[in-house]
Every structure is written in structure tokens, then in C-alpha cells.
Structure 1
């Protein structure tokens, strides 16, 4: 049984309730952990005492030896805590704050009415007790579902929908009454109605998560909920754990003309010698294993022995993408998102061209082992509120890649020319430095600050044209 995909809402009143439930679970887990630690310490003390007394025996005697250690106030306290966490607290937790208020008023009316013999108070107490009893009937019983949460993909790009499904199955041999399923997505909660399920029957719901902004969304957990119409009591059970959904920044592919200015085919010669490269260095005697394509036949004929070409290794293009993530340099969230998309696009193009790449921000460095982790790291980039001297961006570029051939600094509109010049002065001599200013709705413009090329753009779609302007 299936249904059309439904869009997850952006706001819900159950978000606060979900947070409160998670907080209660954390407290319960902490209390259980403390109780377990106390039991382990008592067992250790009892074992040490028996060892001193020379007692030995099977495992049953160890259990009996624990009994005296559980007496006294400490043992009584532990038993009370265990009884509360396992028996009493789950029952009382079903009652909502509104239900506790109604129960409190009902109890007060019963006590006052029976003590003072006021019939009106007894009637009010009865009128309040009846809804509580009916609410208890709604939450009685235990459903045994088998729930599967399946995301079609765990990584999408901003603007595309992430589609998933929730399958609720009845693994028992008896029918299960209708219930409501809640799916948490970030701070929102989607609700699905599950009909009556016969034995071995299942129900499937499709959902779509809108991705308007770059983020890491937590999809899940999936909970079954039973409550009464007046919301006096609410019982929920978690069936499927949460999953992470990465919403990557939007990127654009750069054509050959736009990315050509980053190409550095000849590179910079190094002192390392190689038997295969593009920079000829000298001739040497042939050695077993040398590629015969590098044999210099004219010299071989003249000298009478095999001579091969010796090459000098060249340095490949090494592109540095430095993203300015200082909050004070951006006028809006949209401008910062544009800067992240620009940096991610240049990094993606450099990665596809198999060049050396070093992308980083003020507080983090993006991974470049493969494309997916790099985009995941760009998804996690956030603005920094603290004040940091901007020249540290150039200093960090110099430290991370001293042999870089090109440094791309992606900055905000409030980054001053003085700050850009200070950062450029920290770069190694001879490196090609470009600053890309991201200003919302701005036209493509090119300028220069000393040896630093500065290009301004207002949308991601104009990035290719802006880079072509720099390459001229």
C-alpha cells in the first residue's frame, strides 16, 4: 500500500515536545548508568572482602554475597531509583502537562468535596475524572511494529528534493489498531496516519524533504504516537533511528575557457630528476628498465652506446581556494551562501581537472581525498562571529601550500582593499592571486590591487564569465 509523496512541514508544535522527550531520555540513561556503576562498585567490594576472608565458591555465592552490600540506605536508594526508572516513570511520563493540571484539579475537588460534603465539587471532580479515564483507554495497549526508514540518497544539492519512504509492517499474528506515525526532520515533524494492519500486512508512506538552504538535516527518528482527542495523555515509541541528510551547496561547472587561466602545463622546474616528464635536462647512459622510447638514437650512433634522455620533474598546478567565512564581511546570509557556492564550484572544477587542491577557511580545511567528502565539508562551513585579522587568510595559504601556483580568495562585500592587500602580501612570490568578491545582484567587474586581481560578481551563474575576464 502506498501513497503520493508528501512534503515535510517547516514548523510544528511537536518539535518542542520531541526535544523534551530527548532530554528526558538522556536523564534516564544517565541515572541508569550511575545506578549500574554503583552496583559494580558494590560487587567489587564484596569480592575483595571474600578474598580477604579466604572464601571461594561458584557464581551463585557471589550473588548472595552482594545481598548484604545492598542493605542500608544506599541499597534502598538504588532499589527506589531502579523502580522509578523502570516502572513508575514510564507510566507517569504518558500524562501530558495539561493532563497533570486536570488530574490535580480533579484530586483537589475530590478531597474538598468529600471532606466538606459539597456536592458541586464532587460533580466537578467527576466531570474531570471521566476524560482522564477515557484518555487512559486511548493509550492502553502495546503495538509491535517493524518500521523501516529509507532515504533515496543521503546527499542532495540545494533546490532539489530528497525523497524517502517509511514502511510500517505488522510482524505479529494479530491485528494492530490504527495509529499515527511521526517523522522528525530537523526542527520539523511530519505526521502520517497508519490504518489498521492485519497480520503480516504493511503500509508505506512516501515523503519529500524540501532543501532550500545548505545544511545537514537529521531525518528521524520515526515514532508511533497514541493520544486522546484532548491531548491529556500521549504515548510514543521510537522505532527507527535518525539518519543524516547532507544538503550540498549549489555549484556550476566551469568550461575550458573559464578554467583555462588555472592551467600551468609547464609548471615550475624542481631539482628532482625523472625518466619521464616534459622538461629535458641531459643525456645519460642506458640502464636496464629504461623506456626505449627515450633512447636518443643520434647520440647512440655517434658514441656507440645506448644513451637516453634525462628529464627534470616539473611541478603540477596547485590551486588554493581560500574562503573568507568571517561574518563581519557579509551583509546577508545570501551573500555568504553565494561565496560558499563560488568556492565549492572552483574546488570542484579543480578536482575534476586532477590538479593539486588545497581548500580551506579560517577555522577548517576541506578534505580532498574524494569529491563527496569535500562537498560534505563545504556543507558544514559556518560564519565566524569573532574578529580575526584578515591577513591570516593569506598566511594560512602560504603555510598550507608554499608551492601553490594560484590562490583564489573568495571574500564578502565588506572586505576592504587594505585587508585584501595585507592578505596578498603574505602569499609566496610569483603565485597568481585572485580575489572574488561576492556582492548580491552586482554586475561582473574587474579591478586590481597591486598584483592582486579582484573580480566582483553578483550570482553564481556569472562565475564562468568572471573567471574568463581574469584569464584575459
Structure 2
């Protein structure tokens, strides 16, 4: 009995072969095949319907309505009109047939320009096929606008080149492209577009002004970088010189003195700690106008380029972002893309707090803001700066005369015109 009881489950399983994994696999496989076929059919239908413009849909509906009414009422005139509309649609659709695969080259003469400079580009279309390509239209988005070029019929091996200029009245990053080839009919009923060339970014840098010298100075530091200025007392050894009256006898190099018979002293290079931080406030409420904000961006770029040129470790800080400006191009690219911060983001005081918390070893901190920042806000911002850092505040105030004032231990410089920046900094060093 026990043996029979043990065999019963095996018999039960044998009576239901449809539930086995082997039999379920073909069903699942057919479902996957049908799903793939259905997806491809839907993609093809979407591609077909995408060529219809609004006028084509209206004419299709009108043709169907006229045909139905003509058949119901027996009006042959309506049926004839419906046939004429259908023929127009069919003939217009024939204009979409043909090859439109140009070899497209999008070339910008310069991908980085300054506000106001002319940005030129060229769009080259090459028919590298064996058959001619019918006339078409090229659509190329440029920022928020777009450019359109009419291309005539291109024979095999023929080339067409279109030159264009991009307006650069405002700072920003302008996306040029992607280039699309558009084929359509004379009535504007159908349109087929092929996206080809990938977009290219055009950086429109802010205006900057250059000025000589290390205008903000540096803090001498044991961990600094060697400079070209010689010193009698520092930690970066440079060379040996003969003893001159007044030299510190503790710097005498006795081994060289014994070898040459002349009293020799060590000569050093000054080392400078050059961790330079630029904090740019992007709070809209701290600026009186768009022009004032652009002036602040230009001030940050100008003083940042000077610091980069002086081989300093320069960081650009604005709400939510820190940019390592290893070279001037990276600094200006970041400034080109900068915009107002969201309304909930704090202003200059919050920016100063983040600099003190995340960039404590800063030797020189330059805060750039607008004229709407109060003296109390400036005092709070300067009080948060790291101990031992030199703090300078540049306040952009459109059309104001250069002015200097002291708030806490910081120099606050008001600049109304970008070209006044060197003069304003000269007041700080006076």
C-alpha cells in the first residue's frame, strides 16, 4: 500500500503535461514574437502618420465626408470633388518619394566668442550617392530660433554650401543644430524630416577687461607656489649669492664658502599661497536690472582671468556649483552658462556661508554682487569668511562712479562700468 501511495503523485503529474515548463515555453515565445511584430508595426504607422500636416488631415477628412454624403444623397458632384481631393493628396505624397541622405558637415568658425562678436558658420551638403537628390529644405535650430535653407537639386558628387551668421547680443550657450533635412510638397500637405548632424554648442563669453599685475596680492605661505620674486627669507631655495652687507648671517652656506673661499649666502624665492575663490551671487533680488547682473558676471570673469594668469588655484563658486578654473577657457565657459538662481536660493550671505564651510583654506576671496545688497548683508557675508583670508567685495552698480569703503575687515569696491575695474582695484592697493 505504501508503494502504491508513493506512485500516485507520479501518475497524477503524468496526466497533466500541459502544466510542464516545456509546454509553457512555446506559448511565451509566441507572445514575445507577436509583441515585437506589434511594436514594429506601430513604429511604421507612427512614421507614416508623422508626415501628415494639419492641412492634409483636414483634406482627408473632407474627402471622406464628401464621398459618404455623395453616396447617401446620390450627388455625383460631391463624389467628384472627393475624388479630386484624394488625387491631390496622392500626387502631393509622391513628392516624399526619393533619397534625401546628404552627407552633412556643420562647421562653426569659432565655438567661443565674446558678446557682440560675429559668429560665423558653414553648412556643407554633399551628394555622395549615385543618384540625384530632389530639392529639399534644411532646418537648423539656433538657440530658441531656427534657420532655414532651400537646397536645389543636387547631382551625384555635387556640393552645396550655405554660410550663416549667429547673433551674439547676449551672453549664453547657444545650441546650433541638430540639422534636419525636410522634404515636402508644393501645397504644404506632407513633410518628411530626417535628423542628421548632432548639435554644436556655441559659447558666448561675457565681456572682460584685462589689467596688469597681481592686483590683489598674495599671502606668503609655507605651502605656496614659488614665484619669480626673490627674497632673503622664505622656504623655496633658489640660488647662492655672494655675501652683501646687511645679509642675515644665518643664511650663510658654509660648505660653499669653504670651497670657494668667498662668503656665500642662500637666496630664496618667495612662495605664495594662491587659493583664489570667486563667489558670484546669482540672486535676482540683489540686482537692479539685467545689465547690472551682466556687469557682475563680467567683473567675475575679469578678475578670474587675472588670477588664472598669475598661476593661482582659482575656483568659481555660485549657488549649488563649484568650478575648478584650471584655465581661462573653463572659467569663461562656466560664466557663459550662468543664470539667475531659483527664488528660494539664498543670496550673498548664503553663498559666503557655503564658501566658508566647503572651501576653508582660501587665501583670497572675492565676492561679486549687485547694488541691492545692504550694508548689513555685506557685513554678515564678510563675517563668515575663513580666518586669515583676504576678502574683497565687488558690487556692480550700473553707471556709478568707482568707490571704496570698508566693512569689517573687507574692502567693498563699487564698479559702475567694466572699464573702471582697474581704477577701482588701484584704490584698494593705494
TM-score normalised by length of structure 2:
0.82
1:416 shift after superposition? 1.1
1:388 aligns with 2:346: yes
Measured at CA, do residues 360 and 279 of structure 1 come closer, stay the same or move farther in structure 2, by a change above 3 Å? farther
Structure 1: gaps (5+ residues) = 1-51, 54-64, 283-288
Name the residue aligned to 2:11.
Answer: none
Measured at CA, do residues 301 and 428 of structure 1 come closer, stay the same or move farther in structure 2, by a change above 3 Å? same
> 1:341 and 1:405 mapped to 2: Cα distance?
22
Conserved? CA contact 1:221–1:241, under 8 Å: yes
Name the residue aligned to 2:220.
Answer: 268
Higher strand share: 2
1:419 aligns with 2:371: no
Structure of larger gyration radius: 2
What is the alpha-carbon root mean square deviation over aligned residues? Answer: 3.3
Name the residue aligned to 1:176.
Answer: 133
> 2:25 and 2:148 mapped to 1: Cα distance?
49
Write out per-residue CA displacement over residues 216-252 of structure 1, whole angstroms, 9 at most, x where no aligned residue.
1111111221122332111111221211211121211
**What are the within-5 Å matches in structure 2 for residues 329-340 of structure 1?**
329-340=286-297
Conserved? CA contact 2:356–2:384, under 8 Å: yes
Name the residue aligned to 1:296.
Answer: 252
Q: What SS does the corresponding residue of 2:179 show, helix, strand or coil?
A: strand
Write out per-residue CA displacement over residues 72-104 of structure 1, whole angstroms, 9 at most, x where no aligned residue.
5x643432221221x322222111122112211
1:444 aligns with 2:420: no
Name the residue aligned to 2:162.
Answer: 205
Q: 1:325 aligns with which of 262, 278, 282?
A: 282
Q: What is the total number of aligned residue pairs between the two structures? A: 396
Judge which range, 401-410 or 206-215, deviates more.
Answer: 401-410
1:278 aligns with 2:231: yes
Name the residue aligned to 2:8.
Answer: none
> 1:67 and 1:339 mapped to 2: Cα distance?
69
Name the residue aligned to 1:469.
Answer: 427
**What are the within-5 Å matches in structure 2 for residues 102-121 of structure 1?**
102-121=59-78
Judge which range, 295-304 or 405-414, deviates more.
Answer: 295-304
TM-score normalised by length of structure 1:
0.75
Q: What SS does the corresponding residue of 1:240 show, helix, strand or coil?
A: coil
Q: What SS does the corresponding residue of 2:338 show, helix, strand or coil?
A: coil
Q: What SS does the corresponding residue of 2:419 show, helix, strand or coil?
A: helix
Name the residue aligned to 1:246.
Answer: 203
1:432 aligns with 2:385: no
Judge which range, 300-309 or 427-436, deviates more.
Answer: 300-309
1:79 aligns with 2:37: yes
Structure 2: gaps (5+ residues) = 1-20, 243-250
1:300 shift after superposition? 6.5
Write out per-residue CA displacement over residues 36-59 of structure 1, whole angstroms, 9 at most, x where no aligned residue.
xxxxxxxxxxxxxxxx87xxxxxx
> 1:461 and 1:421 mapped to 2: Cα distance?
27
Judge which range, 382-391 or 397-406, deviates more.
Answer: 397-406
1:121 shift after superposition? 2.6
Measured at CA, do residues 147 and 358 of structure 1 come closer, stay the same or move farther in structure 2, by a change above 3 Å? closer
Name the residue aligned to 1:15.
Answer: none
Name the residue aligned to 1:25.
Answer: none
Q: What SS does the corresponding residue of 2:324 show, helix, strand or coil?
A: coil
Q: What SS does the corresponding residue of 2:107 show, helix, strand or coil?
A: strand
